[in-house]
Amino acid sequence: MKKIILAALALFVLPATVQADHHNETAKKNIVETAISAKFNTLVAAVKAGGLVETLSGEGPFTVFAPTDEAFDKLPEGTLDSLLKPENKDQLVAILKYHVVSGKVPAKTVVTLDSAETLGGKVSIEVKDGTVILNDKVKVVKTDVMASNGIIHVIDSVILPPSK
């Protein structure tokens, strides 16, 4: 009976230990390294094209609202390819900066805010049915992915800065 109880406990404790180890391993990587590990391929390509790798690998801290590859796929056809061209670097950088907040802003703080000042302007924040919504339409789908120099919150669409 003791062996059965111990085996059952091991089933619960082992996954928690593995998860904790993975969390600690991720926190050793900076935001860019974490994005690479998490396979944010399009975001990483955009950060490279925008020349922001060094900045987002730096001391920080930063909070990044990171669009998934599928989020970038929602952009109108040809938009991403156009943004990645060297002649459109300024526009790409403006969009990327609109996803970055200076400082560490964990989910428990995000849900108390009605807006956040990003490096590219103000983003509105609203909580609807337990889901954080940015600028009335972009959903936060995963929170608090820890990096050594900040936090990543995963979003389902690219946030576009207001037109000037």
Task: Provide the pLDDT confidence category of residue 163 given band limits of 50, 70 and 90.
Answer: confident
Task: Tell me what the mean pLDDT of segment 137-148 comes to.
Answer: 96
pLDDT at 99 over 60: yes
Alpha-carbon gap, residue 40 to 27, rounded angstroms: 17
pTM: 0.81
Alpha-carbon gap, residue 47 to 10, rounded angstroms: 42
Alpha-carbon gap, residue 78 to 148, rounded angstroms: 34
Contacts of 160 (CB under 8 A, 6+ apart): 95, 98
Query: 6-10, 39-43, 139-143, 158-162 — which is least confidently predicted?
Result: 6-10
- The label of the residue with tokens 């996954």 reads 15
- The label of the residue with tokens 């302007």 reads 121
Q: What percent of the chain has pLDDT above 90?
A: 79
Query: 16-25, 126-135, 150-159 — which is least confidently predicted?
Result: 16-25
Q: What is the pLDDT of residues 62-82, one digit of tens each?
A: 999 999 999 999 999 999 999
> Does 29-155 carry CATH code 2.30.180.10?
yes
Angle at 131 between CA 80 and CA 135, to 5 degrees: 45
Three-class secondary structure assignment of the chain: CHHHHHHHHHHHHHHHHHHHHHHHHHHCCCHHHHHHHCCCHHHHHHHHHCCCHHHHHCCCCEEEEEECHHHHHCCCCCHHHHHCCHHHHHHHHHHHHCCEEECCCCHHHHCCCCEEEECCEEEEEEEECCEEEECCCEEEEEEEEEECCEEEEEECCCCCCCCC
